[in-house]
Amino acid sequence: MITFDNVSLTYPNGHQGLKNINLEIPKGEFVVVVGLSGAGKSTLIRSINQMVRPTEGRLLIEEEDSLAMNTKNLRLLRRDIGMIFQNYNLVKRSSVLRNVLSGRLGYTSTLKSILNLFSKEDLQYAMECLDRVGIQDKAYQRADTLSGGQQQRVSIARALSQKPKAILADEPVASLDPPTAHAVMQDLQQINKEDQITMVINLHAIDLSMEYADRIIGLRDGEMVFDGKASEVTEQTFEDIYGRAIKEDDLIGEAESE
Amino acid sequence: MTDLNKNTNRIPVLPSKTKKTTTLVFAVVLLLYTMSVIQTEAYPHQIITNIPIVVDFFIDDMLPPNPSYFADSFFALLETWNIALLSTTLSALFCLPIAFVAAGNINRNWALYHTTRFSLNVLRTIPDIIWAVLFVAFVGLGALSGVLALFFFSLGIIVKLVSETIEAIDPGPQEAIRAAGGNLLQVIWFGAIPQILPQFASYTLYVLEINVRASIVLGFVGAGGIGQLLERQISVFNYGNISMVILVTFVAVTIIDTVSTSIRKRLV
């Protein structure tokens, strides 16, 4: 359970990223956050694992206020939350397996990780995670030899290897072509259903949001302007959130070529 | 526009103001050259009139190299190589932790960052020969003072190069590892080091090249190696031996530079 209790975030330059957000995300929900670029989608997601730090309010993760945590507890919190990025954020020159193993770093002592002494179970589990996203055969390839879709799957495997309670994804499919985008979204949906891992995902494509989300949250200028079930959402809802008419760029298209 | 056409048929390529500035700059540069020639008495005609002296020196004194001096030269050269190798390896080892402290994207502590940067700048202003003189005074004549001198000299160079490489790396992987609960050392080890490894290896080889050549010069102030040998032979005007030393040095430096350059090309 993730609870935003009147959370605001003002950046050092005075820009207000989030304004009085009140939000409850129960365990296992598939939440998609939508809004125009600059609306605060990234800020909202990154507040949850404090890659950015809200300046006001309380942000409860499992009843504990994460804004009051010390560095040590914050690291423990972060290892329970996987994160997926638009640009995959893999170490390009390292092997796929090593990239996945970096998801185990929160569980591994500094000395052991520097000496590459990951436990047998960790290695086993990293391979299982790669298997779940269907690229176990690429384990020993350099990450930059993989296609974009495959690289995003490596980063999903990395998040999975943390055995997370929640996964945050910041525009996970914005750099992918439509069929690959759908495939990656389906991977995330499957993980959500099978493992009951909470998903909080930023998307800007309207059709993707409506297809995969349980619940949609709309942001405009740092304010929450919509919160409702995906089944109740129409294109009109998006026009209200975006404050303008829907354009063709807001749609990604069908996965017909798969 | 019409005014311009009335005064002259040609449309100037450069605005007349730029033309004046350029001419002025050229004049000043020319004046500086003239002054430096007069002050140093480095008149060009001297080079031409003195050519016969140089040719005689080579034919009469330097040739042929003394073959029986090859063994001595070779072992002194080996010492030079070892000095360069040890000092480069030491500075490469010490470089990594310091370079991360000197990289603004890793070290967010303003005071520590600037103190480190400033100390490194000071380190780099001290020429290698001064380090050598210092260490010859501290630990005496010989290779050890050469190793220490070149260690401090090359540390400044390699840390600067590596810390600038660190500042240019992709921050994404580090962000991902931080988000997965990794601590600072794990972020550096898994997120940053793999990205700088090729450049780090390349810079180390480059510094090795520099150190081989520098250690030859340092021998002249007593810091061991083939330079020290050369200095002794020069002081007794033993030209056959001198040219043997130069020949051996020339061949060795060429080989080392060629091999190192070709490895570096493949690295980056």
Any idea how long chain A is?
258
Judge whether A170 lies within some domain: no
The residue of B189, B195, B200 whose CB has the most chain A CBs within 10 angstroms, and thus the best one to mutate to test that interface, is B189
% residues pLDDT > 70 (chain A) = 98
Contact B195 A91 (CB under 8 A): yes
Residue A193 confidence class, pLDDT cut points 50, 70, 90: very high
pLDDT for B242 equals: 85
Sheet holding A81-84: strands in order across?
A: A81-84, A166-170, A198-202, A30-34, A215-220, A223-229
The residue of A46, A96, A105 whose CB has the most chain B CBs within 10 angstroms, and thus the best one to mutate to test that interface, is A105
* pLDDT under 50: residue ranges of chain B: 1
Judge whether A50 lies within some domain: yes
Which residue in chain A is spatially nearest to B176 when comparing CA positions? A89
Judging contacts by C-beta atoms under 8 Å, the chain B residues touching residue A89 are 172-173, 175-176
State pLDDT tens for residues A27-66.
999 999 998 888 899 999 999 999 999 999 999 998 889 8
Domain end, chosen from B46, B62, B78, is at B62
Q: Both B154 and B123 in a single domain? A: yes
Q: What is the mean pLDDT of residues A175-179?
A: 90
ipTM above 0.85, yes or no: yes
* Lowest-pLDDT range of A135-149, A217-231, B55-69: B55-69
According to DSSP, residue B40 is labeled: H
Looking at the predicted structure, is the pLDDT value of residue A232 above 90? no
Residues of chain A numbered 193-252 and touching chain B (CB < 8 Å): none
Judging contacts by C-beta atoms under 8 Å, the chain A residues touching residue B194 are 91, 93-94
| Nearest Cα residue to A199 out of A56, A40, A47, A26 | A26
Angle at B8 between CA B2 and CA B11, to 5 degrees: 75
Judge whether A232 lies within some domain: yes
Looking at the predicted structure, is the pLDDT value of residue A255 above 70? no
Residue A151 confidence class, pLDDT cut points 50, 70, 90: very high
CB B167 within 8 A of CB B104: yes
Judging contacts by C-beta atoms under 8 Å, the chain B residues touching residue A49 are 179
Q: How many domains does chain A have?
A: 1
Q: Both B197 and B148 in a single domain? A: yes
Q: Both B126 and B11 in a single domain? A: no
3 state DSSP class of A215 = strand
Q: How many domains does chain B have?
A: 2
Q: Closest Cα of chain A to B195: distance in Å? A: 7
Domain end, chosen from B19, B36, B62, is at B62
Task: Determine the Cα–Cα distance for residues A43 and A55; give it in Å rounded to an integer.
Answer: 12
Judge whether A219 lies within some domain: yes
pLDDT for A200 equals: 96
CB A201 within 8 A of CB A188: yes
Closest residue to A110, CB basis, from B180, B183, B194: B183
Q: Both B51 and B88 in a single domain? A: no
State the pTM of this model: 0.79
Q: Quote the domain boundaries for residue B173.
A: 67-267
Residues of chain A numbered 111-170 and touching chain B (CB < 8 Å): 113-114, 155, 158-159, 162
